[in-house]
Amino acid sequence: MKGILLAGGNGTRLAPLTAVVNKHLLPVYDRPMVVYPLETLKRAGAEEILVITGSAHIGRFIEFLGDGSAYGVRLTYRVQEAASGISGALALCESFAAGEDVMVVLGDNIFSADFTPARSKYGCTVYLKEMDKEEIKRFGCAEVSGDKVVGIEEKPTNPKSTYAATGFYHFSHDAFEIVKNLAPSKRGELEITDVILAYAQKGDCGYAMVDGEWFDAGTFDSLLAASNAVQKHGRA
């Protein structure tokens, strides 16, 4: 299965650091952040990985990661010209996927556990982490029934569950058709939660719970926590 690593966005929550460097190249303890999701994809079974980032930063990624051989993978790159959101970035990956299912990881997500490379029986698999209802307001909040996700809401004011959607997903090739029919959200972006919801409404979205620690290292506090975890354990 191919992997997609999304490393775009403006990183505004980490300003002023991100005024001079892409968020995903900031250090998490002793390595740039992007190395951690790259290794997550590799351990999950991806040998071919597409890195998506903005035109202002792509040169730095190529300079640092190269062709991926130093990490045991094959890397290609694609520019996301507009800040059109996660689903907007996913839309750029259809030719790379070439009809295959894909694993997608957000470039600021750091996991201590590995993901099983076995395919789900569902077209979409969302990886969830349980947290309290105040924390979950920063994330997508999933409603589940049995082994399925039946609903999901981005950054809810009144969360309907304690299950946060982490930044790791499995998608069938149907995801690219779904993205083509999405309308931008109030933020002007194509939301990944709308892709997941489209699968859920068809009864085709499963989930798995994430073991170990998970960091969305897009804030100063979570970036520091991730660095401390890596220092202590060798991995987050």
Q: Is the pLDDT of residue 185 over 80?
A: no
Q: How far apart are CA 166 and CA 127, in angstroms?
A: 6
Helices (H), 53-180: 58-65, 85-90, 94-97, 174-180
**AA letter at 5:** L
N-term to C-term CA, the chain? 24
Averaged pLDDT, 177-198 = 84
- The HSE-up count of residue 213 (CA atoms within 13 Å, CB side) is 18
Share of the chain above pLDDT 90, in %: 72
**Structure confidence at residue 83 (pLDDT):** 67
The residue to which tokens 């250090």 are assigned: 27
Which has more confidence, 106 or 187? 106
**Structure confidence at residue 85 (pLDDT):** 73
Of 63, 80, 71, 82, which is closest to residue 21 (Cα–Cα)? 63
84 band by pLDDT with thresholds 50, 70 and 90: low
Q: Is the pLDDT of residue 118 over 60?
A: no
**Structure confidence at residue 122 (pLDDT):** 94
| Residues 165 and 140 sit within 8 Å (Cβ to Cβ) | yes
Q: Is the pLDDT of residue 233 over 60?
A: yes
**Structure confidence at residue 220 (pLDDT):** 95
Per-residue pLDDT tens for 191-202?
888 999 999 999
Q: Is the pLDDT of residue 221 over 70?
A: yes
Of 176, 171, 164, which is closest to residue 204 (Cα–Cα)? 171
The CA angle 43-49-53, to the nearest 5 degrees, is: 120
Domains of the chain, first to last = 2-233 (3.90.550.10)
Per-residue pLDDT tens for 7-59?
988 788 999 999 989 999 999 999 999 999 999 999 999 999 999 998 889 99
